[in-house]
Amino acid sequence: MTETVTETETVVPQVSQVERHGYLFGHPIAHSMSPLLHQTVYDGLGLNWSQFPLDSLDVDLFLRLREDPKFYGAAVTMPHKVTILQHLDGLTPEGASVGAVNTMFIREDPETGKRLFMGTNTDVVGIRESFYQNVANADATFHGRPALIIGGGGAARSAVYALRTWMKASKIYLVNRDRNEVKAVIDECTARGYGDSLVDVATVEQAEQLEGVGAIVACVPNFTPKTNEEKEARSVLECFLAKEHKGAILEMCYHPSPWTEIAEISKQQGWQVILGTEAMIYQGLEQDKFWTGKELHELPVENVHKAIAAKLNESRL
């Protein structure tokens, strides 16, 4: 594969060997399994397509590259998920509500035939499908119950949207070492119309008085708590894990290993642990639904799971 280097030293992949191409656009992206996931899908469908990594901060370069007639769309990751909004012709309800886009896809204006660059957020679908594809009885496990989110970043906001919009959470507890981050999540989600019944749970004493939860989404890196605030947040989580009702927890952290401290503690307490690779897989499959026009049951889901599991095993060796 020949490569050219722009004036900003961005390596631009040579895409001429495939019929259609997309990009993974962000920085840094060296550890991403997105190209592998999508190549597995295209190979399974018999498509001569590829997604190429575009490790770059240069938005103008990306905007030029997307004009290629063979470009089908892009996975957009940090730090471009918000910046890209101003360069789109339209948004899905998920893209508009979350206020961040991780997927660009193309539609055609029926009147002019002009290509329209559209945006959506499939992270929310990845969270939703991680639960519904892995939990045998959603009604008994998490429907109609409070849910819990650990963390305060973009993934936490996506989790609020998924739990509130689709997963029938009666309320959502937010657990975090930083009260200001929690307030920011509550304020932003409320402003976007899905911030009802968000509760900042700051202490173990508060947690002890609250109803047990059915679904937990952990959106923090894997680390051993060291500060008092970190220890208190972990203790609040452990308080909920110890309650009588045992549900399912999605541990979003999967690099370098999906088996984290929180996953281990949850398993010991009798919870069903869903690894973060599930969210990554189902958000990626949702992207391919937009790009290929196929439905989930038409995509090689089992092949994707096998490919990602093999890659994880390889990285542990």
Q: Nearest-CA neighbor of 252 among 167, 154, 170, 175?
A: 154
Q: What is the largest CA-CA distance in the chain?
A: 62
Three-state secondary structure readout of the chain: CCEEECCCCCEEECCCCCCEEEEEEECCCCCCCHHHHHHHHHHHHCCCEEEEEEECCCHHHHHHHCCCCCEEEEEECCCCCCHHHHHCCEECHHHHHHCCCCEEEEEECCCCCCEEEEEECCHHHHHHHHHHCCCCCHHHHCCCCCEEEECCCHHHHHHHHHHHHCCCCCCEEEECCCHHHHHHHHHHHHHCCCCCCEEECCCHHHHHCCCCCCEEEECCCCCCCCCHHHHHHHHHHHHHHCCCCCCEEEECCCCCCCCCHHHHHHHHCCCEEEEHHHHHHHHHHHHHHHHHCCCHHHCCHHHHHHHHHHHHHHHHC
Catalytic-residue membership of 81 = yes
Residue keyed to tokens 């991680």: 130
Instruction: Give me the catalytic one of 70, 81, 231, 294.
Output: 81
Catalytic machinery residues: 81
